[in-house]
């Protein structure tokens, strides 16, 4: 299905630069099939890497909350830098999201569900975070066949508890 063929550019907490990163130079991006829920992956449970298989969502109660989300059409996931904030995008843009969390838990999972303007779930995955305090996690997603025109969104949850939905317009 070309509508679901996507490329997960990168995803990792900013405080853990020593961890391996997705999208490193010379490495191929994950196959589109790996972005579907329950698809096999060798990244399951690695902190700072998306757990694309998500056999079961972590629902352990934690006090960590999403405190801020910034979107941009420019960024560098390796250096955790984002361009100017944006809420409007073009169909071929990569959408970068910086998710800032804060709490005392040193072990939790951020779940990101990317939803198209028509309500179709494009991608739904979790990222393990193994640090307490303020943590910035940068993710990005692009659609080679283009984003749907209209209001798309990212729904964010921590350990199964919905935290925030962030809308972005594609024109």
Domain boundaries in the chain? 2-170
Instruction: Give just the sign of the alpha carbon dihedral 119, 99, 35, 78.
Output: positive
Give buried/exposed letters for 64-99 (b at 16+ CB in 10 A, else e). Answer: bebeebbbbbebebeebebeeebeebeeebbbbbbb
Q: For the chain, first and last CA: distance in Å? A: 23
pLDDT in tens, the chain (171 residues): 333 333 333 344 444 333 333 333 333 333 333 333 333 333 444 444 555 555 578 889 999 999 999 999 998 767 777 889 998 999 999 999 999 999 999 999 999 999 999 999 999 988 889 999 999 988 888 899 999 999 999 999 999 899 999 999 999
Spatial separation of the C-alpha atoms in residues 7 and 24, rounded to whole Å: 14
Q: Which CATH architecture has domain 2-170?
A: Sandwich (2.60)
Is the Cβ–Cβ distance between 109 and 44 less than 8 Å?
A: no
Is the Cβ–Cβ distance between 121 and 3 less than 8 Å?
A: no
For residue 93, the SS3 value is: coil
């Amino acid at each position: 299905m070309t509508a679901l063929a996507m490329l997960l550019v990168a995803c990792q907490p900013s405080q853990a630069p020593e961890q391996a990163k997705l999208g490193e130079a010379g490495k191929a991006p994950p196959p589109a099939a790996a972005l579907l829920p329950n698809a096999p992956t060798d990244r399951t449970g690695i902190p700072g890497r998306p757990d694309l298989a998500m056999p079961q969502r972590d629902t352990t109660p934690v006090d960590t909350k999403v405190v801020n989300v910034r979107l941009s059409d420019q960024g560098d996931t390796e250096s955790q830098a984002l361009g100017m904030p944006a809420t409007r995008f073009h169909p071929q843009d990569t959408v970068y999201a910086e998710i800032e969390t804060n709490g005392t838990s040193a072990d939790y999972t951020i779940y990101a569900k990317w939803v198209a303007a028509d309500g179709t779930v494009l991608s739904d995955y979790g990222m393990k975070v193994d640090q307490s305090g303020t943590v910035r996690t940068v993710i990005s997603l692009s659609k080679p066949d283009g984003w749907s025109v209209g209001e798309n969104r990212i729904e964010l949850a921590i350990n199964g508890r919905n935290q925030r939905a962030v809308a972005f317009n594609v024109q």
